[in-house]
Structure 1
Amino acid sequence: MSATFTPDAAAPLDAEAPATRKVGPLLLAPSVIVLLAWMIVPLVMTLWFSFQYYNLVDPTTHGFAGFDNYYYLVTDPDFWVSLENTLILLVAVLVITVGLGTLLAVVFNQPFAGRNIARVLAISPFFVMPTVSALIWKNLLMHPIYGVFGAVASALGFQPVDWFAQLPLASIIAIVSWEWLPFALLILLTAVQSLDHEQREAARMDGAGVLAQFFFITLPHLSRAIGVVIMIETIFLLTVFAEIFVTTSGGPGNATTNLAFLIYARALLQYDIGGASAGGVVAIVLANIVAFFLVRSIARRLEV
């Protein structure tokens, strides 16, 4: 006798399907709840404190402040200086890392002796912690007496430069660029390696020189990767803190004070939690505005 299939035999399997679909969200619920709490609770507390008078060394100062903390923030000259320093740091590091990263990606894509070792050495600074990087540059490289740069300048007959006193913001830009250049190089080198060799060979046979191949073939191919590098670096460069804290502490004066360090100074040096929270809210708004436009720009490029 041959077995016959009946609809009743499949009924138990169909009955289990809705139960399985109900279990999935329940298993995900704890992770989603923890993630939302981890993001929302600090944000809500920061927003709440930004509307309160709250000073750590003066318990008598308390109560609803309205928009006073925001008013004092935007009327403080240090705020606008810190905002300017943040933008200068951001643009300068992006120009250096994207520019040098593109050139190094093209160079490291060419065959030469010791290429693999050179790639590892070029990428390795990205894995050094920001605090350690700042200490290396401050004490071993840029120190006017004991640093390598000072020794080289003295050997050539020049006066050593006190980098963090004479060129403080440029010094921070150099340190942060050294940290983020390997990241840009890694992304752009991967993009260069995905370029069709037949396309470049055809251009070379048509008489295109090295510069023409770079500007009309390699650079357009790297546009998406460059957009991704700019987006990711921008989000992190808006919150640079460790390098400034270790080297200059925002000085001399406020020459290297960015928005992140200004918030730290308000909270833990001036003990003004309300003012620091207002600065944090402003920083969140600015970061989200920048991220919104960057994501839209990257999405349009990916659709092309």
Structure 2
Amino acid sequence: MRTRASGRTVGGLRTLSLQAPAVTLLLLWMLIPLGMTLWFSFQRYNMLMPGMSGFAGFENYRYLLTDPALWSSMGTTLVLVGSVLAITVIGGILLAVLFQQEFLGRGIARILIISPFFVMPTVSALIWQNMIMHPVNGVLAWLFGVFGLPSVEWFSELPLVSIIIIVSWEWLPFALLILLTALQSLDEDQVEAARMDGAGPLAIFFFITLPHLKRAISVVIMIEMIFLLSIFAEIFVTTSGGPGLATTNLAYFIYIRALFEFDVGGASAGGVIAIILANIVAIFLIRTVAKNLEN
């Protein structure tokens, strides 16, 4: 018994010694930036006024929480995230059901529809800005001209809608990939039995397909929510947060604070607020997904 216990102890120590460098590096990589952000959030530090520095207490947080621009950016973030989630989840479900059917060229079509997910966000934004949504030379302007409709200045007349369209185009293939993979594990015998009992396509979809995709939908929402909270490149390339604050989300608000106003303390306080909100959302989503997995 002693030999067996000592062998387990030695093996555990060896495993711990092998894991320790990687775990230590990971913790340093995470904790040092977080610690610096917390430190600067309590400092009066503006790069345009180096002489005015020192401990500010909760002044940065108080100033931010009374700034209408912060609440406007949080509202824009919620609208942006909610709209993209609705489009990608609903569109992903419908496309997954469509691509589950047999048709000529299905393999090529699957590759083509998934490919936008692998395009860099900056490149996607440039493609949509200069080739699709351009008011003179864009594809949409040409289509509107064919039907005798006036062209639309997308990024000045409908700026937030434009960002939602671009981001949804990027993330729809991801939702489709996850949902299509989950749909392929659906028991065809169950579907065939429902058809023999007289169930139509809509009944099969709502009572068999959707319940089967419940876990996959939860995973899609969780992963997309975490990434969509930090959308930046699409806004930076196309609208720069404008007109006014129309497309300024929380990530771009922090960017403006840090690199336009050079307010490191205020930007760090905004970063801490963003971290808190992201963790609240992540905890809620993880619990929801865990509950679905248990069921």
Bin of the TM-score, shorter chain as denominator length: over 0.9
Q: Corresponding residue for 2:270?
A: 279
Q: Corresponding residue for 1:170?
A: 161
Q: Corresponding residue for 2:286?
A: 295
Amino acid at match of 1:255: A
Counterparts of residues 5-20 of structure 1 (less than 5 Å): 18-20=9-11
Counterparts of residues 11-50 of structure 1 (less than 5 Å): 18-50=9-41
Displacement after TM superposition at 1:23 (Å) = 1.6
Deviation per CA, 1:254-292, whole angstroms, max 9, x where unpaired? 000000000000000100000000000000000000011
SS in 2 for 1:271: coil
Q: Corresponding residue for 1:152?
A: 143
- The question of 1:232 aligning with 2:223 is answered yes
Q: Corresponding residue for 2:232?
A: 241
Displacement after TM superposition at 1:155 (Å) = 2.3
Q: Corresponding residue for 1:5?
A: none
CA distance in 2, matches of 1:214, 1:113: 23
Deviation per CA, 1:117-176, whole angstroms, max 9, x where unpaired? 110011000000000000000000001011111111122211100000000000000000
Displacement after TM superposition at 1:12 (Å) = 8.8
- The question of 1:269 aligning with 2:260 is answered yes
Q: Corresponding residue for 1:123?
A: 114
SS in 2 for 1:59: coil
Q: Higher Cα Rg: structure 1 or 2?
A: 1
CA distance in 2, matches of 1:198, 1:15: 53
- The question of 1:85 aligning with 2:76 is answered yes
Counterparts of residues 171-186 of structure 1 (less than 5 Å): 171-186=162-177
CA distance in 1, matches of 2:12, 2:203: 57
Q: Corresponding residue for 2:49?
A: 58
- The question of 1:257 aligning with 2:248 is answered yes
- Say which is worse superposed, 151-160 or 101-110, in terms of deviation: 151-160
Within the candidate set 67, 83, 95, 1:76 is matched to 67
CA distance in 2, matches of 1:137, 1:118: 21
Deviation per CA, 1:172-218, whole angstroms, max 9, x where unpaired? 00000000000000000011110000000000000000000000000
Q: Give aligned-pair identity as a percent.
A: 65
CA distance in 2, matches of 1:13, 1:50: 52
Displacement after TM superposition at 1:24 (Å) = 1.4
Over 2 Å off, 4+ runs:
11-21
Displacement after TM superposition at 1:22 (Å) = 1.8
CA distance in 2, matches of 1:109, 1:61: 63
Distance 1:14 1:215, change over 3 A: closer
- The question of 1:96 aligning with 2:75 is answered no
CA distance in 2, matches of 1:233, 1:157: 38
- The question of 1:201 aligning with 2:201 is answered no
Amino acid at match of 2:26: L
- Say which is worse superposed, 245-254 or 14-23, in terms of deviation: 14-23
Displacement after TM superposition at 1:20 (Å) = 3.2
CA distance in 1, matches of 2:269, 2:63: 9
- In the alignment, structure 2 segments of 5+ residues that lack a partner are none
TM-score (norm 1): 0.95
Distance 1:219 1:15, change over 3 A: closer
Amino acid at match of 1:20: G
Deviation per CA, 1:43-80, whole angstroms, max 9, x where unpaired? 01001100000011210110011111011111111111
TM-score (norm 2): 0.97
Amino acid at match of 2:112: L
Q: Corresponding residue for 2:133?
A: 142
CA distance in 2, matches of 1:163, 1:59: 41
Amino acid at match of 2:46: N
SS in 2 for 1:215: helix
- In the alignment, structure 1 segments of 5+ residues that lack a partner are 1-10
CA distance in 1, matches of 2:7, 2:211: 53
- Say which is worse superposed, 230-239 or 151-160, in terms of deviation: 151-160
Paired residues, number: 295
Displacement after TM superposition at 1:303 (Å) = 0.6
The alignment yields a C-alpha RMSD, in angstroms, of 1.4
